[in-house]
């Protein structure tokens, strides 16, 4: 797979162009929980009636500059209040996303480098039922 040079998050007011993350994870499947019944046999319980696959994304940047962090924080504000468009690392595939429910806040960690302070930060996204690959 060829990589784009950036990833994009677009909300109603802005297009936030971010550098490619240092780490990228995509998880896909149908939301479900595996439980044990009364006799100890595992069974799968679907969490929604949707037949479409859902996607979850984890993007981690190791050394963001202050300016890059400001762009990510701006994108975060959009993700907290609306469905946004996310252009994936291939530069072609797009998803309708919201922030992942497990991430209630953005938590940058300061990293001291020879060039000054940089930021390590993780962003988690979840595709919505509106998602459509293009």
pLDDT digits 0-9 by tens, 73-124: 999 988 888 999 999 888 888 999 999 888 899 999 999 999 999 999 999 9
> What's phi and psi for 71, nearest 5 deg?
-65, -45
Architecture of domain 6-127: Beta Barrel (2.40)
- CA torsion sign, 105 to 107 to 67 to 19? negative
Residue 43: the pLDDT is: 66
Tokens 């530069």 appear where?
91
Q: Whole-model pTM above 0.85?
A: no
pLDDT over 90 (residue 68): yes
Classify residue 34 by its DSSP letter.
E
Question: Closest Cα to residue 2, out of 81, 72, 89?
Answer: 89
Most confident option among 29-38, 76-85, 122-131: 76-85
pLDDT of residue 33: 60
Q: Does residue 43 or residue 101 have the better pLDDT? A: 101
Of 31-35, 81-85, 126-130, the range with the lowest mean pLDDT is 31-35
Q: Residue ranges of the domains in the chain? A: 6-127
Residue 72 phi/psi, 5-degree rounding, is: -65, -40
pLDDT at position 38 is 77
Say how many Å lie between the first and final Cα of the chain, rounded.
16
């Amino acid at each position: 797979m060829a990589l784009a040079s950036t990833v994009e998050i677009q909300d109603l007011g802005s297009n936030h162009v971010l550098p490619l993350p240092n780490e990228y994870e995509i998880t896909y499947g149908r939301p479900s929980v595996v439980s044990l019944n009364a006799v100890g046999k595992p069974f799968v319980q679907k969490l929604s009636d949707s037949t479409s696959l859902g996607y979850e994304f984890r993007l981690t940047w190791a050394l963001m500059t202050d300016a890059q962090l400001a762009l990510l924080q701006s994108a975060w504000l959009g993700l907290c209040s609306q469905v946004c468009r996310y252009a994936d690392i291939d530069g072609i595939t797009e998803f309708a996303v919201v922030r992942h429910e497990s991430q209630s806040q953005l938590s940058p960690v300061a990293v001291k480098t020879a060039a000054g302070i940089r930021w390590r930060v993780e962003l988690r996204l979840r595709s919505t039922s509106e998602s459509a690959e293009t």
